[in-house]
Amino acid sequence: MGHKVDFACRACRYEERDLGVGRGRRPEPALRLFQCGNCRSIGSAWVGGGFVPRCSLCYHDDIALLADDVLAVACPKCGGPGVFTHRHEETWE
């Protein structure tokens, strides 16, 4: 099972809401957080199971996978402090 994650930048107010992280009923594929080097966004993408991980916005494969439990990264839009909020109480299957 997985959970929901929100990202918010404290400087420029860029945000992404309801990103999925984790696995479904099978071990692969899994949803992982990423930063896209092409369109400068944050999102979640399917990884494993023969999938090539791609950005969910621009479909480019120039993404940097982040740890599932990441708490903060530099905002991809302005470079300011960005924070992840993990909502473990909201799960998906």
Q: Note the pLDDT tens digit of each residue in 33-69.
A: 999 999 999 999 999 988 889 998 999 998 999 998 8
Average pLDDT of the segment spanning 9-29: 91
pLDDT value at residue 13: 94
Q: In the prediction, which pLDDT does 90 show?
A: 77
Region of 12 please: left (phi>0), alpha (psi -120 to 50) or beta.
alpha
The pLDDT score that the predictor gives to residue 31 is 93
Distance (Å, rounded) from C-alpha 62 to C-alpha 54?
7
Confidence class of residue 10 from pLDDT cuts 50, 70 and 90? very high
What does the pLDDT read at residue 77?
A: 92
| Burial 34-66, CB ≥16 within 10 A → b, else e | bbbeeeebbbbbbbeeeeebbbbeeeeeebeeb
